[in-house]
Amino acid sequence: MAQFQRYVAENGLFGPGDRLLLTVSGGVDSMVMLSLCVASGYRVGVAHCNFQLRGAESDEDEKLVAAAAARLGVPCYNRRFDTAAEMERTGESMEMAARRLRYAWFAELCAAEGYTAIAVAHHADDSVETFFINLLRGTGLRGLTGISKQSGRIVRPLTFATRKEILEYAVANRIPFREDSSNRSTKYLRNKIRLGLIPRIREINPKFTALMQRNIARLTDAQQFITQAVEQVRRAAVTEEGGIATIRLERIDPAFPRNFVLYELLSSAYGFKGDVIDALCRALDEGAVGRRFYARDRVAVTDRGTVVVAPVADNDPCEVSIPAGAQRAYGGNSVLYFERRSIDLVEAFGVPPHQAQIDAAKLQWPLTLRRWREGDWFVPFGMTGGRKKVSDFLIDSKVSLPEKQRQFVLLSDGEIVWVVGRRIDDRYRLTDSTEQVLCITREIV
């Protein structure tokens, strides 16, 4: 208790004048956070999301949270989400859909009920796991700083404690909680790291979590230092006019690593990903002029001695070339992840719309990712009648106008392989002769 109160006060996370919306799942972390906040005298309300993904388990979580809130005499808000339908509608992964739904609802609650902060029960082990997730996916230094204690009005008052310490506190204080069965599944990358990688590292160093906390703290300090230095470069090298930014390369001190500076400038302010920035830097090294590189809602264009960053226009094709061996590609508000698998390791049935399984031998590299165009056609998998215009397919699928404008297609040698997030082309389906499969997963970013 004292350690919790000291941590909150020293980091200025919240105070007696705040109203805290506690996000409580029913798991041990959030139930301990609820107990600590109430015992410390803070004014709180409880928000519980039932994503209806685990049947009776989800309903039992909901009942536990409601009972705990009633016992402690604090307001309790519950929202049931049809998460599966939302995933079907948007093509998002389960994690992305659930995250978007819950944070939108939390914001609504804060506005309607006057809460000043949203408390989330992430802890030290979550931060270490995030370090490895970002490391394995590829990241800059910022991605290695774990989970921040505070981001806007979102606060994380348990990041000082380990999972083991939280569990021990719950047992000692008889705090009820429920275990989410999905936490034991190695289907998800975080669980693979939590259940597979980290226990093996702890065999080498039992104090691994404490060591990583110190490492992450040092990396965070380094990132803060770099951020200040990059801001000085930004003031000297970047000009903005009419929403268009121009980075003048000659104004970057030659003593600085140019590519690293560009990474910091483009990722932090405009949302460009590391792979894209790497490709842009290679284009600069080659003296390429007019090459275009895309973030979610920005395009960066290489020019003579400059990089020009502008909003993506509605009619911009956002055309991206994807070389053989690429692990990901970005188009509009989506990222595509590519993975090659043997046919023996692929389950060909029940593939959701946000995933595609393509016969790898039928592809000609590089692939192309771009917005669909009038006149585009493909042969929809599972449909009779042969080829069909993409425009007619989108109409038949009752796709709204805004979604049509954001629709991308993936092509091989000029032929559509996948209307992204909706339907593959029948010519690229898996057959009895397929040996290697290109598995593609689309996530909304």
Question: Mind listing the domains of the chain with CATH numbers?
Answer: 2-214 (3.40.50.620), 242-311 (no CATH), 320-444 (3.50.40.10)
Q: Which of 194, 223, 180 is nearest to 133 (CA)?
A: 194
Q: 80-98, pLDDT tens digit by residue?
A: 999 888 887 776 778 888 8
The token pair that represents 154 in the structure block: 């979102």
Q: Which of 276, 278, 277, 265 is nearest to 238 (CA)?
A: 265
* Percent of the chain whose predicted confidence (pLDDT) is above 70: 99
The predicted pLDDT at position 348 comes to 66
The predicted pLDDT at position 183 comes to 76
> In residues, how long is the chain?
445
CA atoms within 13 A on the CB side of 418: 23
Q: Which of 34, 58, 28 is nearest to 46 (CA)?
A: 34
The predicted pLDDT at position 91 comes to 66
Provide the strand spans (E) within 271-419: 292-294, 298-303, 306-311, 320-322, 328-331, 334-342, 355-359, 367-371, 377-378, 388-389, 408-412, 415-419
* DSSP 8-state code for residue 137: H
Question: DSSP letters along 25-72, please?
Answer: -SSHHHHHHHHHHHHTT-EEEEEEEE---STHHHHHHHHHHHHHHHHH
Render the burial of 193-209: b for 16+ CB within 10 Å, e for the rest.
bbeeebeebeeeeeebb
Q: 186-228, pLDDT tens digit by residue?
A: 777 888 999 999 999 999 999 999 999 999 999 999 999 999 9
**One-letter amino acid of 214:** R
Crossing angle, helix 258-270 and helix 208-237, to 10 degrees? Answer: 90
* Under 8 Å between Cβ of 309 and 266: yes
Task: Map residue 147 onto helix, strand or coil.
Answer: coil
Q: Which of 314, 397, 382 is nearest to 351 (CA)?
A: 382
Q: Which of 38, 96, 40, 98 is nearest to 70 (CA)?
A: 38
In angstroms, rounded to a whole number, what is the distance separating the alpha carbons of residues 247 and 234?
Answer: 8
Distance, CA of 199 to chain centre = 25
**Peptide bond between residue 366 and the one before it cis (omega within 30 degrees of 0):** yes
Section 242-258 average pLDDT: 94
* Under 8 Å between Cβ of 418 and 410: yes
Q: 279-333, pLDDT tens digit by residue?
A: 899 999 999 899 999 888 899 999 989 999 999 887 788 898 898 988 888 887 7
Crossing angle, helix 56-72 and helix 28-39, to 10 degrees? Answer: 10
